[in-house]
Amino acid sequence: MKTLWHHCHVASMANGVYSIIEDAAIVTDGAHIVWIGPRAEVPDQGDIKTADLNGAWVTPGLIDCHTHTVFGGNRSGEFEQRLQGVSYADIAAAGGGIASTVRATRAASEEELFASAQRRLLQLLKDGVTTVEIKSGYGLDLASERKMLRVARQLGEQLPVTVRNTCLAAHALPPEYKNRADDYIAHICSEMLPALAAENLVDAVDAFCEYLAFSTEQVEQVFITAGQLGLPVKLHAEQLSSLHGSSLAARYQALSADHLEFMTEEDAIAMAAAGTVAVLLPGAFYFLRETQLPPMDALRKHGVKIAIATDLNPGTSPGLSLRLMLNMACTLFRMTPEEALAGATIHAAKALGMADTHGSLEAGKVADFVAWNIERPADLAYWLGGDLEKRVVRHGVESTF
Ligand code: DI6
Ligand code: FE
């Protein structure tokens, strides 16, 4: 069934810029866009359903390309500790941090994990997100990682959102492998990844490359295994220190390297050559009160595509609004609202390997879009959160929440 969506302006985000079409129309056929352009030029569609968007600004559905939405427990107590001056690294060394979420996640049933993740995910969806990446990484054993990834798949089946699963088994060292990081990496490569991939629970493979997590040598083993399984890779890199994980990621044609506050210009050159997207996470930067800014000039100079995501997780970025992250990207990282919106649409799609079908409004792409009751596209990065009036269309069908 075809629909003509009209009485709107469009910021299509084609080519990573607004690409504005005033007084636009969009023709969808089922789940796809078949025509988009000025309303005055719509080819005759015969008898077609019409939808009046009341002068809204239409953008691609937002894409949150880095989240840890599924987890057990709650870490607001750690937030209070950090406000008393205890550092994130100190808390981790004392058995808190990621380890505490691992305990809670292992103890939770699939139903419990689904219920709490659904509550968080609905917040993102109500803010205009139509595609979300969800990582495992709080299970750290085969059964618990499987449980997390199954919940992520179920979320995509039951809510109006496209979910991409990323296996982050190499997130932290599980307690049963204390002082045996190489053995844990070997276990990931020989047992966990092959089993989870065979169950079709994994769309990409990620790792945490950091002095308090895994070395570049260990990450490389995970990347080699991912390659053997035909899975693309991503990497948490240069968040707290510079190990050049982002250059390693580029060598393995990673979809993205994420965080990147401590990356160097050489890393940016390597990423640009490989087409690896820089995913910046201003929520984590803000929440940890970091002071080292990602090297925006080097990223821009070398033409690295920049995405923005919530990093929604209990420890470093309890961020429930991707639009708030757009504001933070502008305020903290000095991005423009146009760059920020590209970072949550077309560049985020590229960071998930989905740019051929998602992330911009063009004929042939999936009909995922949001009609916002705003005056200008920059308003999306301007308001600090809030529930903007909007209509969300996914796969050509209007979502109701
Ligand atoms: N970097 C982060 O910011 C999160 N994971 C990661 O690799 C933190 C996860 C947590 O503290 O629970
Ligand atoms: Fe993360």
Instruction: Give the separation between CA 344 and CA 326, rounded to whole angstroms.
Output: 8
Nearest CA to ligand 1 atom 7: 208
List the beta bridge partners of residue 258.
236, 279
| Ion ligand 2: residues, Cβ under 5 Å | 311
Pick the ligand that lies closest to the CA of residue 309: 2
Asked if residues 276 and 250 have their Cβ atoms less than 8 Å apart, the reply is yes
Query: Binning pLDDT at 50, 70 and 90, where does residue 212 land?
Result: confident
Query: Binning pLDDT at 50, 70 and 90, where does residue 245 land?
Result: very high
Nearest CA to ligand 1 atom 4: 316
Q: How far is the CA of 229 from the centre of ligand 1 (A)?
A: 25
Query: Binning pLDDT at 50, 70 and 90, where does residue 1 land?
Result: confident
Q: Which of 125, 37, 26, 146 is nearest to 323 (CA)?
A: 125
Distance of CA 201 to the CA centre of its chain: 17
List the beta bridge partners of residue 10.
21, 58
Q: Ligand 1, from 168, 262, 316, 317: best to mutate by most atoms within 8 Å of Cβ?
A: 316
Alpha-carbon Rg for the chain in angstroms: 21
Is the CB–ligand 1 distance for residue 236 below 6 Å? yes
Q: How far is the CA of 315 from the centre of ligand 1 (A)?
A: 6
pLDDT at 53: 98
pLDDT at 46: 87
What's the chain's length in residues?
Answer: 401
pLDDT at 42: 96
Q: How far is the CA of 393 from the centre of ligand 1 (A)?
A: 31
Put simply, whether the predicted model's pTM sits higher than 0.85 gets the answer yes
Atom of ligand 1 nearest to the CA of 281: 3
pLDDT at 94: 87
Q: How far is the CA of 98 from the centre of ligand 1 (A)?
A: 7
How wide is the angle at C-alpha 232 spanned by C-alphas 227 and 236, nearest 5°? Answer: 110
- The packing angle between helices 142-158 and 110-126, to 10°, is 40
The mean pLDDT value for 205-228 works out to: 97
Is the CB–ligand 1 distance for residue 105 below 6 Å? no
Is the CB–ligand 1 distance for residue 160 below 6 Å? no
Is the CB–ligand 1 distance for residue 315 below 6 Å? yes
Distance of CA 74 to the CA centre of its chain: 21
Is the CB–ligand 1 distance for residue 313 below 6 Å? yes
Atom of ligand 1 nearest to the CA of 75: 12
pLDDT at 308: 99
pLDDT at 92 over 90: no
Query: Binning pLDDT at 50, 70 and 90, where does residue 401 land?
Result: confident
Residue 97 vs residue 342, higher pLDDT: 342
Atom of ligand 1 nearest to the CA of 98: 12
Query: Binning pLDDT at 50, 70 and 90, where does residue 88 land?
Result: confident
User: Per-residue pLDDT tens for 148-177?
Assistant: 999 999 999 999 999 999 999 999 999 999
How close are the terminal C-alpha atoms of the chain, in Å?
23
- Proportion of the chain above pLDDT 70, given as a percent: 100
Q: Ligand 1, from 281, 313, 317: best to mutate by most atoms within 8 Å of Cβ?
A: 313
pLDDT at 129 over 90: yes
pLDDT at 208: 98
pLDDT at 36 over 90: yes
Phi, psi of 24 (to 5 degrees): -100, 170
The mean pLDDT value for 294-308 works out to: 98
Is the CB–ligand 1 distance for residue 97 below 6 Å? yes
Other C-beta atoms within 10 Å of 160: how many? Answer: 18
Query: Binning pLDDT at 50, 70 and 90, where does residue 371 land?
Result: very high
Is the CB–ligand 1 distance for residue 239 below 6 Å? yes
The mean pLDDT value for 136-148 works out to: 98
pLDDT at 95: 84
Query: What is the domain partition of the chain in residue ranges?
Result: 2-60+360-398, 62-351
Q: Say whether domain 62-351 belongs to CATH 3.20.20.140.
A: yes
SS3 164: strand
Is the CB–ligand 1 distance for residue 327 below 6 Å? no
Atom of ligand 1 nearest to the CA of 311: 3
The mean pLDDT value for 287-307 works out to: 97
Q: Which of 259, 318, 263, 258 is nearest to 287 (CA)?
A: 318
User: Per-residue pLDDT tens for 317-341?
Assistant: 999 999 999 999 999 999 999 999 9
Pick the ligand that lies closest to the CA of residue 239: 1
Q: What is the mean pLDDT of the chain?
A: 97
CATH of domain 2-60+360-398: 2.30.40.10
The mean pLDDT value for 108-121 works out to: 98
